[in-house]
Chain A
Amino acid sequence: MDAWQIAWFTIACAGLATLLMVPPGVLVAWLLARRQFPGRALIEALVSLPLVLPPVATGLVLLMLLGRRGAVGRVLERLGIEVVFTWKAVVLAMAIMGFPLLVRTARAGFEQVNERYERVAATLGARPMRVFMTISLPLAWPSVLAGAVLGFARALGEFGATIVVAGSIPGQTRTLAVAIYSFTETGQDTQALTLVLMSVAIAFVALWAANRLASRRAA
């Protein structure tokens, strides 16, 4: 077993998952904070669903959607893209599980921005996109960043959805959490413990980096 390889794979997948969830997450957070639109309650519920559903259930839904007979999977197969039981499924599962944390945190940040700033910017001739990029986003930035870090941290530890939709294929889909489980199940406690210590170290580094970013922002 190469513990480092598993650790890097996990970090890389969590990083990709964060990149994948940030653009739609920030948009949804802003929409929920600032706009009234039909279907808003539905979006709100959908976004929070992965937070309350058992992760395994989320994984199963993904498997049904993305599998060869699934609605999305069929289209992807025709395009020659295979997702299920590949690293792509790992990234997707991580992104979906981290999404609610990002959206909730970023949304609180947008809600705290005084609407007066956005209104004044509009009267100064700024189009909605410019208002968003120059006023709303910079002022909500600490919360967006905190949300992204939370989403990343959640992605690092993702287990339930990952194991259903991506499995535990060594060298291909095996993340830290999944590997710890697999090693424990097969009685390889030493290896499992090594990975646990590694997870703790990664978590510390991530939190330290997040705190540094936050304090630099405040300075």
Chain B
Amino acid sequence: MIVVDIVLVQGTFTLEMSARLDAPITALFGPSGSGKTTTLDAIAGLRMPSRGTITVNDRVLFSSESRVNLPPHHRHVGYMPQDVALFPHMDVRKNLLYGRHPGVSPELDRVVGMLEIDRLVDRRVNDLSGGERQRVALGRALMSGPSLLLLDEPLAAVDVPLRRRILPYLQRVRDDLKIPIVYVSHDREEVDELADAVIRLDGGRVAV
């Protein structure tokens, strides 16, 4: 169970987000500029809210009241940005192993098998196709042994046929690894297909 109850001011934009996310896959849905990515950044610890609380499975990541603000490297949150940001100076294997924590992370073989990237591990990142990059980035996030996955428009940069092929991988992550996923999208169809719950954002507020 993830509880996000925050106010985050960023220039002239104010995000007021109050939600309980208890579905296996929750979509943050809304037009651009509605605060979807800002919400993910706040959960990941990349932006600090002005006030409020963020908890994941009763673990407090942020609380203005009790002055808790865990740095990103202590949050155990897998984060995949929109541009996936694979480390360009490392090969696929090094990317995958970057966040591995012995005893916490799943086995590499299991992750690469599930995402069908086992034959890519020795490749250079620059030689990967769009869909391969998405899966490697997903694998890298999973290998850190996260208690929550945050995906920022994971399917926005890929075309429709490829999207069809990637969706099942996300469903596998949900079903096999039982890691809750919060993901951002502005595509209604994609949300309908994948998400178990939807939070609509508009102008920095939860729309009802």
Binding site for B on A (CB under 8 A): 114, 116-117, 119-128, 134-135, 138-139
Residues of the A chain whose Cβ atoms lie less than 8 Å from the Cβ of B29: none
Contact, CB under 8 Å: A123 / B140: no
Residue B19 at the chain A interface, CB threshold 8 Å: no
Distance in angstroms from B87 CB to nearest chain A CB is 6
Binding site for A on B (CB under 8 A): 44-46, 71-81, 83, 85, 87-89, 98-99, 101, 140-141, 144
Which of A119, A128, A135 lies in contact with B81, CB distance below 8 A? A119
Contact, CB under 8 Å: A123 / B78: yes
Decide if the interface of chain B is mainly helix, strand, loop or mixed: loop
Listed residue (B45, B75, B79) with the most chain A CB atoms within 10 angstroms of its CB: B79
Contact, CB under 8 Å: B99 / A124: yes
Contact, CB under 8 Å: A125 / B87: no
Contact, CB under 8 Å: A122 / B71: yes
Decide if the interface of chain A is mainly helix, strand, loop or mixed: helix
Distance in angstroms from B80 CB to nearest chain A CB is 8
Contact, CB under 8 Å: A114 / B85: yes
Contact, CB under 8 Å: B73 / A123: yes
Contact, CB under 8 Å: A139 / B75: no
Residues of the B chain whose Cβ atoms lie less than 8 Å from the Cβ of A122: 45-46, 71-73
Contact, CB under 8 Å: B81 / A116: yes
Contact, CB under 8 Å: A125 / B46: no
Contact, CB under 8 Å: B89 / A126: no
Shortest Cβ-Cβ A-B pairs, 5 listed: A124-B99, A122-B72, A123-B79, A116-B85, A124-B144
Which of B46, B78, B101 lies in contact with A119, CB distance below 8 A? B46
Q: Which residue of B lies closest to A122 (CB)?
A: B72
Contact, CB under 8 Å: B81 / A125: no
Distance in angstroms from B34 CB to nearest chain A CB is 21
Contact, CB under 8 Å: A139 / B76: no
What are 25 sample pairs from A and B whose C-beta atoms fall under 8 A apart?
A: A114-B85, A119-B81, A119-B85, A120-B80, A120-B85, A121-B87, A121-B98, A122-B45, A123-B45, A123-B72, A123-B73, A123-B78, A123-B99, A123-B141, A124-B98, A124-B99, A124-B144, A125-B73, A125-B74, A125-B101, A126-B73, A126-B98, A128-B73, A135-B87, A139-B88
Q: Which residue of A lies closest to B144 (CB)?
A: A124
Contact, CB under 8 Å: A123 / B77: yes
Once the chains are docked, how many angstroms separate the CA of A122 from the CA of B74?
Answer: 9
Q: Which residue of A lies closest to B43 (CB)?
A: A123
Residues of the B chain whose Cβ atoms lie less than 8 Å from the Cβ of A117: 85, 87-88
Once the chains are docked, how many angstroms separate the CA of A149 from the CA of B98?
Answer: 31
Once the chains are docked, how many angstroms separate the CA of A114 from the CA of B45?
Answer: 18
Residues of the B chain whose Cβ atoms lie less than 8 Å from the Cβ of A128: 73
